[in-house]
Amino acid sequence: MRINQKISLLLLSLAASCALADLPTEQAVLTDAPNVPPAITRDHAAKVVVNLETKEVVKRLADGVEYTFWTFGGSVPGKFIRIREGDEVEFNLSNHPTSKMPHNIDLHAVTGAGGGAASSFTAPGHSSKFSFTALNPGLYVYHCATAPVGMHIANGMYGLILVQPKNGLPKVDREYYVMQGDFYTKGNYGEPGLQPFDMSKAVKEDADYVVFNGAVGSLVGDNAITAKTGETIRLYVGNGGPNLVSSFHVIGEIFDKVYVSGGDLVNHNVQTELIPAGGSSIVEFKLEVPGTFIMVDHSIFRAFNKGALGMIKVSGPENKTIYSGKQSDTVYLPEGNAIQSLEEPVKAVAAKSLQERIQLGQRIYEQNCAACHQPTGEGIPNAFPPLAKSDFLMKDKLRAAGIVINGRQGTIVVNDKTFVGAMPAFQLTDEQIANVLSYVTNSWGNKSDGLAPEDVAKVRAKPQNAATE
Ligand SMILES: [Cu+2]
Protein backbone atom coordinates (compact mmCIF):
# COMPACT_ATOMS: atom_id res chain seq x y z
CA MET A 1 0.00 0.00 0.00
CA ARG A 2 1.37 3.37 -0.95
CA ILE A 3 1.77 6.03 1.71
CA ASN A 4 -0.83 8.48 0.32
CA GLN A 5 -3.40 5.65 0.16
CA LYS A 6 -2.75 4.91 3.82
CA ILE A 7 -3.27 8.56 4.72
CA SER A 8 -6.53 8.85 2.80
CA LEU A 9 -7.83 5.67 4.51
CA LEU A 10 -6.91 7.13 7.86
CA LEU A 11 -8.74 10.36 7.01
CA LEU A 12 -11.78 8.42 5.88
CA SER A 13 -12.02 6.44 9.09
CA LEU A 14 -11.52 9.63 11.12
CA ALA A 15 -14.41 11.27 9.24
CA ALA A 16 -16.64 8.20 9.79
CA SER A 17 -16.06 8.15 13.52
CA CYS A 18 -16.35 11.93 13.84
CA ALA A 19 -20.16 11.93 14.13
CA LEU A 20 -19.91 9.54 17.09
CA ALA A 21 -16.84 11.15 18.59
CA ASP A 22 -18.52 13.30 21.22
CA LEU A 23 -20.84 10.53 22.48
CA PRO A 24 -19.75 8.30 25.34
CA THR A 25 -19.70 4.65 24.32
CA GLU A 26 -21.38 1.88 26.25
CA GLN A 27 -22.15 -1.78 25.80
CA ALA A 28 -25.87 -2.70 25.65
CA VAL A 29 -27.10 -5.02 28.40
CA LEU A 30 -29.06 -7.85 26.74
CA THR A 31 -31.38 -10.24 28.59
CA ASP A 32 -33.26 -13.45 27.93
CA ALA A 33 -37.04 -13.54 28.47
CA PRO A 34 -38.74 -13.02 30.84
CA ASN A 35 -36.06 -10.63 32.08
CA VAL A 36 -35.70 -7.03 30.97
CA PRO A 37 -32.49 -4.95 31.13
CA PRO A 38 -32.48 -2.26 33.85
CA ALA A 39 -33.94 1.16 33.09
CA ILE A 40 -31.52 3.59 31.44
CA THR A 41 -30.94 6.48 33.84
CA ARG A 42 -28.59 8.74 31.84
CA ASP A 43 -30.07 12.02 30.54
CA HIS A 44 -28.06 12.22 27.32
CA ALA A 45 -27.55 10.20 24.16
CA ALA A 46 -24.78 7.63 23.92
CA LYS A 47 -23.16 5.41 21.38
CA VAL A 48 -24.48 1.97 22.30
CA VAL A 49 -22.79 -1.16 21.04
CA VAL A 50 -25.08 -4.16 20.55
CA ASN A 51 -23.48 -7.56 19.94
CA LEU A 52 -26.02 -10.16 18.95
CA GLU A 53 -25.41 -13.70 17.76
CA THR A 54 -27.69 -15.83 15.59
CA LYS A 55 -27.61 -19.48 16.53
CA GLU A 56 -29.56 -22.59 15.46
CA VAL A 57 -30.36 -24.74 18.49
CA VAL A 58 -32.45 -27.81 19.35
CA LYS A 59 -34.64 -27.08 22.37
CA ARG A 60 -37.85 -28.16 24.06
CA LEU A 61 -41.08 -26.94 22.43
CA ALA A 62 -43.38 -28.97 24.68
CA ASP A 63 -42.97 -31.98 26.98
CA GLY A 64 -41.40 -34.70 24.82
CA VAL A 65 -41.32 -32.41 21.77
CA GLU A 66 -38.15 -30.83 20.44
CA TYR A 67 -37.64 -28.33 17.65
CA THR A 68 -34.70 -26.79 15.83
CA PHE A 69 -35.10 -23.12 16.72
CA TRP A 70 -33.27 -20.38 14.85
CA THR A 71 -32.54 -17.74 17.45
CA PHE A 72 -31.14 -14.32 18.24
CA GLY A 73 -28.95 -15.15 21.21
CA GLY A 74 -29.73 -18.82 21.82
CA SER A 75 -33.38 -18.72 22.89
CA VAL A 76 -36.83 -17.69 21.72
CA PRO A 77 -37.71 -14.87 21.86
CA GLY A 78 -34.39 -13.17 21.06
CA LYS A 79 -32.48 -11.04 23.57
CA PHE A 80 -34.29 -7.96 24.86
CA ILE A 81 -32.41 -4.82 23.74
CA ARG A 82 -32.87 -1.55 25.63
CA ILE A 83 -31.60 1.78 24.32
CA ARG A 84 -32.61 5.43 24.70
CA GLU A 85 -34.23 7.77 22.21
CA GLY A 86 -31.46 9.62 20.33
CA ASP A 87 -28.83 6.92 20.92
CA GLU A 88 -26.51 5.94 18.10
CA VAL A 89 -26.42 2.19 17.91
CA GLU A 90 -23.49 0.23 16.55
CA PHE A 91 -25.02 -3.12 15.70
CA ASN A 92 -22.80 -6.18 15.31
CA LEU A 93 -24.59 -9.29 14.10
CA SER A 94 -22.58 -12.51 14.25
CA ASN A 95 -23.79 -15.76 12.75
CA HIS A 96 -22.47 -18.78 14.66
CA PRO A 97 -20.17 -21.02 12.57
CA THR A 98 -22.44 -24.04 13.15
CA SER A 99 -25.42 -22.29 11.51
CA LYS A 100 -26.72 -23.84 8.32
CA MET A 101 -28.39 -20.63 7.14
CA PRO A 102 -27.40 -17.04 6.58
CA HIS A 103 -29.39 -14.62 8.77
CA ASN A 104 -29.94 -10.88 9.13
CA ILE A 105 -31.99 -8.50 11.25
CA ASP A 106 -34.81 -6.07 10.50
CA LEU A 107 -35.36 -3.87 13.56
CA HIS A 108 -38.64 -2.00 13.45
CA ALA A 109 -36.90 0.70 15.52
CA VAL A 110 -34.63 1.56 12.58
CA THR A 111 -35.31 4.41 10.16
CA GLY A 112 -33.64 3.16 6.99
CA ALA A 113 -34.24 0.73 4.14
CA GLY A 114 -35.07 -2.77 5.31
CA GLY A 115 -34.64 -1.82 8.96
CA GLY A 116 -31.06 -3.02 8.71
CA ALA A 117 -31.80 -6.21 6.80
CA ALA A 118 -29.52 -5.80 3.77
CA SER A 119 -26.68 -4.27 5.82
CA SER A 120 -26.75 -7.11 8.32
CA PHE A 121 -26.99 -10.13 5.98
CA THR A 122 -24.49 -12.53 7.51
CA ALA A 123 -23.24 -15.95 6.37
CA PRO A 124 -22.42 -18.65 8.95
CA GLY A 125 -19.14 -17.85 10.70
CA HIS A 126 -19.26 -14.15 9.76
CA SER A 127 -20.05 -10.86 11.51
CA SER A 128 -21.68 -7.75 10.03
CA LYS A 129 -21.75 -4.22 11.36
CA PHE A 130 -24.11 -1.31 10.73
CA SER A 131 -25.24 1.75 12.68
CA PHE A 132 -28.46 3.64 13.17
CA THR A 133 -29.83 6.46 15.25
CA ALA A 134 -32.94 5.69 17.29
CA LEU A 135 -35.19 8.56 16.24
CA ASN A 136 -38.52 7.28 17.60
CA PRO A 137 -39.19 6.06 21.13
CA GLY A 138 -41.33 2.95 21.59
CA LEU A 139 -41.32 -0.82 21.91
CA TYR A 140 -40.36 -2.45 18.63
CA VAL A 141 -40.19 -5.96 17.24
CA TYR A 142 -37.06 -7.15 15.48
CA HIS A 143 -36.87 -10.25 13.31
CA CYS A 144 -34.82 -12.04 10.71
CA ALA A 145 -35.69 -11.06 7.15
CA THR A 146 -33.68 -13.59 5.18
CA ALA A 147 -35.59 -15.49 2.50
CA PRO A 148 -37.77 -17.39 3.00
CA VAL A 149 -38.67 -14.73 5.58
CA GLY A 150 -41.71 -16.58 6.90
CA MET A 151 -39.63 -19.64 7.66
CA HIS A 152 -36.96 -17.72 9.59
CA ILE A 153 -39.65 -16.02 11.70
CA ALA A 154 -41.60 -19.26 12.17
CA ASN A 155 -38.44 -20.88 13.54
CA GLY A 156 -38.25 -18.28 16.29
CA MET A 157 -36.19 -15.40 14.87
CA TYR A 158 -37.79 -12.45 16.66
CA GLY A 159 -37.39 -10.32 19.75
CA LEU A 160 -38.02 -6.86 21.20
CA ILE A 161 -36.04 -3.64 21.30
CA LEU A 162 -37.18 -0.88 23.62
CA VAL A 163 -36.26 2.67 22.68
CA GLN A 164 -36.81 4.36 26.00
CA PRO A 165 -38.31 7.85 25.63
CA LYS A 166 -35.96 10.75 26.49
CA ASN A 167 -37.88 11.43 29.68
CA GLY A 168 -37.94 7.76 30.67
CA LEU A 169 -40.92 5.65 31.62
CA PRO A 170 -42.63 5.99 35.00
CA LYS A 171 -41.05 3.84 37.67
CA VAL A 172 -42.67 0.46 38.33
CA ASP A 173 -41.76 -2.35 40.71
CA ARG A 174 -41.12 -5.07 38.15
CA GLU A 175 -40.74 -5.38 34.41
CA TYR A 176 -41.06 -8.58 32.36
CA TYR A 177 -40.64 -9.66 28.75
CA VAL A 178 -43.34 -11.85 27.18
CA MET A 179 -43.48 -12.65 23.48
CA GLN A 180 -45.98 -14.79 21.64
CA GLY A 181 -45.26 -16.87 18.57
CA ASP A 182 -46.96 -19.57 16.50
CA PHE A 183 -45.24 -22.82 15.43
CA TYR A 184 -45.95 -25.31 12.66
CA THR A 185 -44.77 -28.89 13.00
CA LYS A 186 -45.09 -32.04 10.89
CA GLY A 187 -46.71 -33.81 13.85
CA ASN A 188 -49.79 -32.44 15.55
CA TYR A 189 -49.73 -30.76 18.97
CA GLY A 190 -47.91 -32.93 21.49
CA GLU A 191 -46.66 -35.55 19.02
CA PRO A 192 -43.29 -36.48 20.56
CA GLY A 193 -39.82 -36.33 19.07
CA LEU A 194 -37.82 -33.78 17.12
CA GLN A 195 -40.47 -32.12 14.99
CA PRO A 196 -39.53 -30.55 11.66
CA PHE A 197 -41.06 -27.28 10.43
CA ASP A 198 -44.16 -27.76 8.23
CA MET A 199 -44.22 -25.19 5.45
CA SER A 200 -47.66 -26.06 4.14
CA LYS A 201 -49.29 -25.69 7.59
CA ALA A 202 -47.48 -22.35 7.95
CA VAL A 203 -48.85 -21.14 4.61
CA LYS A 204 -52.34 -22.19 5.70
CA GLU A 205 -51.81 -20.45 9.06
CA ASP A 206 -52.81 -23.71 10.74
CA ALA A 207 -50.66 -23.49 13.88
CA ASP A 208 -49.95 -26.56 16.01
CA TYR A 209 -48.47 -24.45 18.82
CA VAL A 210 -49.14 -20.91 19.97
CA VAL A 211 -46.81 -20.16 22.86
CA PHE A 212 -45.34 -17.46 25.06
CA ASN A 213 -41.55 -17.28 25.25
CA GLY A 214 -40.76 -20.10 22.87
CA ALA A 215 -42.25 -23.20 24.48
CA VAL A 216 -45.37 -24.63 26.05
CA GLY A 217 -45.16 -23.97 29.80
CA SER A 218 -42.24 -21.54 29.68
CA LEU A 219 -44.10 -19.26 32.12
CA VAL A 220 -45.90 -21.90 34.16
CA GLY A 221 -45.31 -23.40 37.62
CA ASP A 222 -41.76 -22.75 38.81
CA ASN A 223 -41.13 -20.64 35.71
CA ALA A 224 -44.06 -18.31 36.40
CA ILE A 225 -43.26 -14.64 36.74
CA THR A 226 -43.73 -13.35 40.26
CA ALA A 227 -44.76 -10.23 42.13
CA LYS A 228 -46.09 -9.10 45.51
CA THR A 229 -49.38 -7.45 46.37
CA GLY A 230 -49.17 -3.68 46.28
CA GLU A 231 -46.66 -3.74 43.43
CA THR A 232 -47.16 -2.44 39.92
CA ILE A 233 -45.79 -4.54 37.09
CA ARG A 234 -45.08 -3.66 33.49
CA LEU A 235 -45.13 -6.29 30.76
CA TYR A 236 -43.38 -5.68 27.49
CA VAL A 237 -45.47 -7.89 25.25
CA GLY A 238 -44.52 -8.71 21.70
CA ASN A 239 -45.95 -10.89 18.99
CA GLY A 240 -43.48 -12.46 16.59
CA GLY A 241 -46.17 -14.29 14.64
CA PRO A 242 -45.39 -15.26 11.91
CA ASN A 243 -49.14 -15.38 11.30
CA LEU A 244 -51.45 -15.01 14.26
CA VAL A 245 -52.69 -11.89 16.00
CA SER A 246 -52.74 -12.07 19.81
CA SER A 247 -55.70 -11.16 22.03
CA PHE A 248 -53.54 -10.73 25.11
CA HIS A 249 -55.43 -11.03 28.39
CA VAL A 250 -54.63 -11.64 32.06
CA ILE A 251 -57.44 -13.52 33.81
CA GLY A 252 -58.54 -11.65 36.93
CA GLU A 253 -56.68 -8.43 36.17
CA ILE A 254 -57.40 -5.23 34.30
CA PHE A 255 -54.59 -3.35 32.58
CA ASP A 256 -54.60 -0.01 34.40
CA LYS A 257 -52.50 1.46 31.64
CA VAL A 258 -51.63 0.39 28.10
CA TYR A 259 -49.15 1.98 25.73
CA VAL A 260 -51.15 1.11 22.64
CA SER A 261 -49.07 -0.73 20.03
CA GLY A 262 -45.96 0.04 22.10
CA GLY A 263 -46.17 3.76 21.18
CA ASP A 264 -47.00 6.76 23.33
CA LEU A 265 -50.79 6.71 23.10
CA VAL A 266 -51.88 5.68 26.59
CA ASN A 267 -55.15 3.87 27.15
CA HIS A 268 -56.61 3.00 30.54
CA ASN A 269 -58.69 0.15 31.98
CA VAL A 270 -58.22 -2.41 29.25
CA GLN A 271 -59.30 -6.06 29.52
CA THR A 272 -57.78 -7.53 26.35
CA GLU A 273 -55.10 -5.94 24.19
CA LEU A 274 -54.82 -6.77 20.52
CA ILE A 275 -51.21 -7.30 19.48
CA PRO A 276 -50.62 -7.74 15.76
CA ALA A 277 -48.00 -10.08 14.32
CA GLY A 278 -44.86 -7.95 14.17
CA GLY A 279 -46.26 -5.60 16.82
CA SER A 280 -46.12 -4.99 20.55
CA SER A 281 -47.81 -3.46 23.53
CA ILE A 282 -46.74 -2.26 26.97
CA VAL A 283 -49.25 -3.09 29.69
CA GLU A 284 -49.14 -2.07 33.34
CA PHE A 285 -51.23 -3.07 36.31
CA LYS A 286 -51.19 -2.87 40.07
CA LEU A 287 -51.56 -6.15 41.98
CA GLU A 288 -54.11 -5.63 44.71
CA VAL A 289 -54.74 -9.24 45.70
CA PRO A 290 -52.65 -12.42 45.85
CA GLY A 291 -53.18 -15.46 43.63
CA THR A 292 -52.13 -17.02 40.37
CA PHE A 293 -53.10 -14.87 37.43
CA ILE A 294 -53.20 -16.63 34.09
CA MET A 295 -51.98 -14.88 30.94
CA VAL A 296 -53.63 -16.08 27.77
CA ASP A 297 -54.23 -15.39 24.15
CA HIS A 298 -58.01 -15.03 24.56
CA SER A 299 -58.51 -16.81 21.24
CA ILE A 300 -59.03 -19.37 23.92
CA PHE A 301 -58.40 -22.72 22.26
CA ARG A 302 -54.87 -21.44 21.71
CA ALA A 303 -54.51 -21.08 25.48
CA PHE A 304 -55.83 -24.47 26.51
CA ASN A 305 -54.98 -26.56 23.46
CA LYS A 306 -51.94 -24.95 21.83
CA GLY A 307 -49.88 -23.60 24.72
CA ALA A 308 -50.59 -19.84 24.88
CA LEU A 309 -50.80 -19.80 28.66
CA GLY A 310 -48.52 -18.28 31.28
CA MET A 311 -48.75 -17.44 34.98
CA ILE A 312 -48.11 -14.50 37.25
CA LYS A 313 -47.81 -15.67 40.86
CA VAL A 314 -48.65 -12.91 43.28
CA SER A 315 -47.90 -13.35 46.99
CA GLY A 316 -49.02 -11.21 49.89
CA PRO A 317 -51.93 -10.66 52.25
CA GLU A 318 -55.53 -11.11 51.12
CA ASN A 319 -57.81 -8.14 50.64
CA LYS A 320 -61.27 -9.61 51.17
CA THR A 321 -63.02 -6.38 50.25
CA ILE A 322 -61.51 -6.35 46.78
CA TYR A 323 -61.92 -10.09 46.34
CA SER A 324 -63.63 -12.31 48.89
CA GLY A 325 -62.89 -15.76 47.55
CA LYS A 326 -65.71 -18.31 47.80
CA GLN A 327 -68.03 -17.29 50.63
CA SER A 328 -70.48 -20.17 50.59
CA ASP A 329 -71.64 -23.21 48.69
CA THR A 330 -75.18 -24.37 49.39
CA VAL A 331 -77.50 -26.82 47.72
CA TYR A 332 -79.65 -25.07 45.10
CA LEU A 333 -82.99 -26.72 44.42
CA PRO A 334 -85.38 -24.56 42.39
CA GLU A 335 -89.08 -25.50 41.99
CA GLY A 336 -89.77 -27.70 44.92
CA ASN A 337 -87.35 -30.18 46.23
CA ALA A 338 -86.30 -32.30 43.30
CA ILE A 339 -84.03 -31.97 40.31
CA GLN A 340 -85.98 -31.94 37.09
CA SER A 341 -83.88 -33.73 34.52
CA LEU A 342 -83.20 -31.52 31.54
CA GLU A 343 -83.31 -34.60 29.44
CA GLU A 344 -86.51 -35.70 27.71
CA PRO A 345 -87.75 -38.85 29.41
CA VAL A 346 -86.83 -41.84 27.32
CA LYS A 347 -90.19 -43.21 26.26
CA ALA A 348 -89.85 -44.96 22.96
CA VAL A 349 -86.62 -46.95 23.10
CA ALA A 350 -86.33 -49.03 26.20
CA ALA A 351 -83.00 -50.71 26.75
CA LYS A 352 -83.06 -54.41 25.97
CA SER A 353 -79.79 -55.67 27.36
CA LEU A 354 -77.55 -54.78 30.30
CA GLN A 355 -74.98 -53.50 27.79
CA GLU A 356 -77.52 -51.05 26.32
CA ARG A 357 -78.57 -49.95 29.80
CA ILE A 358 -74.97 -49.18 30.70
CA GLN A 359 -74.53 -47.18 27.51
CA LEU A 360 -77.69 -45.11 27.99
CA GLY A 361 -76.89 -44.70 31.67
CA GLN A 362 -73.54 -43.07 30.96
CA ARG A 363 -75.13 -39.98 29.43
CA ILE A 364 -77.59 -39.68 32.31
CA TYR A 365 -74.67 -39.94 34.72
CA GLU A 366 -72.66 -37.24 32.97
CA GLN A 367 -75.62 -34.84 32.95
CA ASN A 368 -76.95 -35.47 36.45
CA CYS A 369 -74.34 -37.01 38.73
CA ALA A 370 -70.82 -36.25 37.47
CA ALA A 371 -70.81 -32.67 38.80
CA CYS A 372 -70.66 -34.03 42.36
CA HIS A 373 -69.47 -37.62 42.13
CA GLN A 374 -66.97 -36.64 39.36
CA PRO A 375 -66.69 -38.12 35.86
CA THR A 376 -64.39 -40.82 37.27
CA GLY A 377 -66.83 -41.74 40.08
CA GLU A 378 -64.16 -40.92 42.64
CA GLY A 379 -66.16 -38.21 44.41
CA ILE A 380 -64.45 -35.35 46.27
CA PRO A 381 -62.82 -35.94 49.67
CA ASN A 382 -64.91 -34.59 52.55
CA ALA A 383 -67.71 -33.50 50.21
CA PHE A 384 -69.09 -36.13 47.85
CA PRO A 385 -68.68 -39.85 48.50
CA PRO A 386 -67.18 -42.06 45.79
CA LEU A 387 -69.28 -44.37 43.63
CA ALA A 388 -66.20 -46.11 42.23
CA LYS A 389 -65.66 -49.25 44.37
CA SER A 390 -68.18 -47.88 46.92
CA ASP A 391 -68.99 -50.58 49.48
CA PHE A 392 -72.19 -48.69 50.35
CA LEU A 393 -73.43 -48.62 46.76
CA MET A 394 -72.50 -52.17 45.89
CA LYS A 395 -74.03 -53.64 49.06
CA ASP A 396 -77.58 -52.70 48.07
CA LYS A 397 -78.53 -51.44 44.63
CA LEU A 398 -82.20 -50.97 45.54
CA ARG A 399 -81.18 -48.70 48.40
CA ALA A 400 -79.19 -46.67 45.85
CA ALA A 401 -82.33 -46.36 43.69
CA GLY A 402 -84.13 -45.00 46.73
CA ILE A 403 -81.38 -42.38 47.22
CA VAL A 404 -81.75 -41.18 43.63
CA ILE A 405 -85.58 -41.04 43.92
CA ASN A 406 -85.79 -39.40 47.35
CA GLY A 407 -82.40 -37.80 47.93
CA ARG A 408 -80.46 -38.39 51.10
CA GLN A 409 -78.98 -36.27 53.82
CA GLY A 410 -77.10 -36.71 57.05
CA THR A 411 -74.15 -38.88 57.88
CA ILE A 412 -73.00 -41.65 55.60
CA VAL A 413 -69.96 -43.92 55.77
CA VAL A 414 -68.48 -45.03 52.46
CA ASN A 415 -65.31 -47.13 52.39
CA ASP A 416 -64.63 -46.25 56.06
CA LYS A 417 -64.82 -42.51 55.38
CA THR A 418 -67.57 -40.40 56.89
CA PHE A 419 -69.44 -37.83 54.79
CA VAL A 420 -72.04 -35.37 56.00
CA GLY A 421 -73.96 -33.76 53.19
CA ALA A 422 -77.11 -33.67 51.12
CA MET A 423 -77.87 -35.29 47.84
CA PRO A 424 -80.96 -33.87 46.10
CA ALA A 425 -83.81 -36.02 44.84
CA PHE A 426 -83.96 -36.55 41.08
CA GLN A 427 -87.02 -36.50 38.84
CA LEU A 428 -85.89 -39.25 36.55
CA THR A 429 -88.02 -42.06 35.12
CA ASP A 430 -87.70 -45.63 36.40
CA GLU A 431 -86.03 -46.46 33.10
CA GLN A 432 -83.46 -43.65 33.52
CA ILE A 433 -82.67 -44.58 37.12
CA ALA A 434 -82.28 -48.23 36.16
CA ASN A 435 -79.91 -47.18 33.40
CA VAL A 436 -77.79 -44.78 35.44
CA LEU A 437 -77.43 -47.28 38.29
CA SER A 438 -76.61 -50.04 35.82
CA TYR A 439 -73.89 -47.73 34.56
CA VAL A 440 -72.44 -46.78 37.96
CA THR A 441 -72.54 -50.36 39.26
CA ASN A 442 -70.62 -51.49 36.16
CA SER A 443 -67.98 -48.76 35.91
CA TRP A 444 -64.61 -47.84 37.49
CA GLY A 445 -64.04 -51.32 38.91
CA ASN A 446 -67.67 -51.96 39.95
CA LYS A 447 -69.42 -55.06 38.61
CA SER A 448 -73.08 -56.11 38.90
CA ASP A 449 -75.95 -57.50 36.86
CA GLY A 450 -77.56 -54.04 36.78
CA LEU A 451 -81.09 -52.88 37.59
CA ALA A 452 -84.33 -53.10 35.65
CA PRO A 453 -87.06 -50.41 35.62
CA GLU A 454 -89.35 -52.83 37.51
CA ASP A 455 -86.86 -52.91 40.41
CA VAL A 456 -86.91 -49.11 40.56
CA ALA A 457 -90.73 -49.09 40.40
CA LYS A 458 -90.88 -51.30 43.47
CA VAL A 459 -88.62 -48.94 45.43
CA ARG A 460 -90.69 -45.95 44.32
CA ALA A 461 -93.83 -47.57 45.68
CA LYS A 462 -92.22 -47.43 49.12
CA PRO A 463 -90.92 -43.86 48.97
CA GLN A 464 -89.28 -43.21 52.33
CA ASN A 465 -87.25 -46.38 52.62
CA ALA A 466 -83.92 -44.86 51.68
CA ALA A 467 -84.22 -41.27 52.80
CA THR A 468 -82.26 -41.94 55.99
CA GLU A 469 -80.36 -44.88 57.24
CU1 LIG B 1 -32.74 -15.99 9.84
281 CA distance to ligand 1 middle (Å): 24
99 CA distance to ligand 1 middle (Å): 10
146 CA distance to ligand 1 middle (Å): 5
> Are 216 and 63 within 8 A, CB to CB?
yes
pLDDT at 308: 97
Q: CA geometry: angle at 225 spanning 75 and 311, to 5°?
A: 100
Write the single-letter amino acid at 441.
T
> Are 431 and 364 within 8 A, CB to CB?
no
DSSP 8-state class, residue 255: E
Q: Tell me the HSE value of 211 on the side-chain side, using a 13 A CA sphere.
A: 23
For 163, the enclosing helix (H) or strand (E) is strand 158-164
What is the CA 189 to chain-centroid distance, rounded?
14
287 CA distance to ligand 1 middle (Å): 39
17 CA distance to ligand 1 middle (Å): 30
Query: Each residue of 258-295: pLDDT tens digit?
Result: 999 999 999 999 999 999 999 999 999 999 999 999 99
89 CA distance to ligand 1 middle (Å): 21
Enter the pTM of the model: 0.70
Phi-psi region of 196 (alpha: psi -120 to 50; beta: other; left: phi over 0): beta
What is the CA 467 to chain-centroid distance, rounded?
47
Alpha carbon separation from 161 to 14, 29, 81 (Å, rounded): 30, 12, 5
Contacts of 152 (CB under 8 A, 6+ apart): 70, 101, 103, 143, 144, 145, 146
CA distance linking residue 448 with residue 442, whole number of Å: 6
101 CA distance to ligand 1 middle (Å): 7
DSSP 8-state class, residue 345: P
CA distance linking residue 338 with residue 424, whole number of Å: 6
119 CA distance to ligand 1 middle (Å): 14
151 CA distance to ligand 1 middle (Å): 8
CA distance linking residue 79 with residue 72, whole number of Å: 6
Q: CA geometry: angle at 376 spanning 372 and 381, to 5°?
A: 50
For the chain, list residues with pLDDT below 70.
Answer: 1-21, 334-350, 463-469
pLDDT at 302: 96
